[in-house]
Structures are given as C-alpha cells and as structure tokens.
Amino acid sequence: MTTLETTSENRAFGGVQGVYTHASAETGTDMTFAVYVPPHEPGTKLPVLWYLSGLTCTHANVMEKGEYRAACARHGIIFVAPDTSPRGDDVPDAQDEYDFGKGAGFYLDATREPWARHYRMRSYIERELPELVAANFQVDMARQGITGHSMGGHGALTIGLRNPDRFRSVSAFAPIVAPSQVPWGEKALPRYLGDDRKAWREYDAVALIEDGARVAELLVDQGTADNFLTEQLQTERLETACREAGIAADIRMQEGYDHSYYFISTFMADHIDWHAERLG
C-alpha cells in the first residue's frame, strides 16, 4: 500500500483537517488531497463524502472556501477532496488553456497521446484513492456519497451513475451535465479520448441516463446568475433526462447566485444534510 505523507493537520470543529500527498500508480505522479475527519469515538467507522472540484481548482479551493466542516462535524461525515488532474513538470499540459490539461482532467481516463500516461483521473478517483483512504482512515466504505462543482459536478454525476451500488447519494453544484454537447467538452473529450463520440458517452451524465444508467435520486443546485449556465452547463438537459428516466431529481435554480464559492458555501450545508440522511 502506498505511503501517505502528511503535509498539514489542523484542529477544526473538534476534528482534524488534513492535507496528504502520495505517489499515485494511476497518474504516475505525486497527488495531493484533503481529508476532514470529524470528532468521533475511537474505532468508529464513519461515512465518507467525496467532493470533486472544478476547472483550474485543486483540493485547496473547497478546503479554504467551501465551509463544510461544521456540517460534517455535526453529522460525523468524513470529507475527502482530491485534486482535479495530475501535476508535475513531466506532465503534459496545454499552455494558456485553462479548460484543458493541468487543472482540467475531466475525471476521465485519457486514451490519446500525450495524455494517456498521466491523465487517469477516473481510475484514480474510482479505485486508487478510495483504497488508500480506506486503508488510512476510519471510513465505512459501505456508506459513500459523492458531490462536486462544475467539472467536478460532471465527475460526481458520471461516477455516481456508473457506480450506483457504491454511492448511496449523489449531488452536484452547477455541474456540466452534458459535456459532449457543450464547448468545454467538445474541446476536451476528442483530445483526451479521440473522435469516436460513442467513447464520450460514459463521461456524459445525460448520455449515461439515456443509455440506461440510474440512481434513485439526485440533488443539484444551480445559480440563475451563473455566467456559464446557458452555454456550458445547460441544466435543462439533465432535468429532461431525469424526468424521462423516472429519476427523482431535485434540481434547484437558486435566484441570483453565480458560479463561485460564495454560491457553493451557501448551499454546502444543505447538501451535507441531504447526504447525511442517506448515509445513515
């Protein structure tokens, strides 16, 4: 098992906010992630909520701005925030392109060069990191939830839909719901995966639902003043797909809120409360 290196640990709401680094076999790089462990009785295994960040972000954005610790402490939920992509000088990047390359891994396993060696965020999030977290923290892996923001909302929805037996609860903040049909995805997916649009569908929440993937319910918050809503997010596509598939989707359009962490932090406790009801 990979050894964890502790970057920092700080007391918060009776628990511990930590940042850890390890050598990832999937990405071939060192990866950093954040874990908040709430106060708990020794030996007690706790449910876990995974949070996937958006374009340009790292683990630090939600850790510093997300305001999740009080709610996680109240409910006894471990909160894990991975990075969004591989990092390092040897990792290929797209200079001056914020929506591709480092910071924009799209939670997929790339198949095209030069991206295929390192850009394996799907396998990292679905397999490697959960195994590492389970081995090093008191996590009840039978009680997992997943959420995320923007590109991370896309990640949460697609990972949740592909793994309905693993995740008891799935939510998102301003997710990219149909990346194969919007500019961000139409730019990233062919470069990572090639031109066969069928290969893109497993990384598109709306397409997954159209192809038969199901979860019992979803919670999504979307700001009406989000400048990415019309062109990139297109929340209405998810509403339609869930309605036609019979998925109970609580999609809340929040008046006047934008795409920022002011929006996320406002509704973070709501999401944690919602996950807590389902994680037990």
CA 233 – CA 225 distance, rounded (Å):
12
pLDDT of residue 2: 73
Whose tokens are 């081995």? That residue is 135
- What CATH number is attached to the domain comprising 195? 3.40.50.1820
CA 103 – CA 117 distance, rounded (Å):
16
Range of the domain at 75: 4-279
Q: Give the CA distances from residue 132 to residues 2, 22, 82, in Å, rounded to whole numbers and listed in that order.
A: 7, 9, 12
The first and second tokens of residue 46, run together, are: 């706790």
Q: Is 150 noted as a catalytic residue in this protein?
A: yes
Let me know: does 171 contact 276? Beta carbons within 8 Å. no
CA atoms within 13 A on the CB side of 26: 22
pLDDT of residue 164: 97
Count of helices and strands (H, E) across the chain: 10, 9
pLDDT of residue 201: 98
Backbone angles phi, psi at 2, to 5 degrees: -60, 140
Compute mean pLDDT per 10 residues along the chain, 280 residues long, and list them. 90 98 98 98 96 98 98 98 97 95 98 98 98 97 98 98 98 98 98 97 98 98 98 98 98 98 98 97
Q: How many domains does the chain have?
A: 1
The first and second tokens of residue 129, run together, are: 């990191």
pLDDT of residue 10: 98
Residue 275 sits at the vertex; the CA angle it makes with 272 and 279, to the nearest 5 degrees, is 130
pLDDT of residue 1: 59
Is the preceding peptide bond at 114 cis, omega within 30 degrees of 0? yes
Catalytic, out of 24, 150, 169, 171: 150
Helices in 66-118 by DSSP H: which ranges? Answer: 69-75
Let me know: does 7 contact 32? Beta carbons within 8 Å. yes
Whose tokens are 């997954």? That residue is 208
pLDDT of residue 156: 98
Catalytic, out of 83, 109, 204, 226: 226
Catalytic, out of 22, 149, 154, 259: 259
The first and second tokens of residue 18, run together, are: 């930590």
CA 124 – CA 119 distance, rounded (Å):
9
The first and second tokens of residue 249, run together, are: 């989707």
Under the phi-then-psi rule, with left for phi > 0, alpha for psi from -120 to 50, and beta for the rest, what region is 267? alpha
pLDDT of residue 169: 98
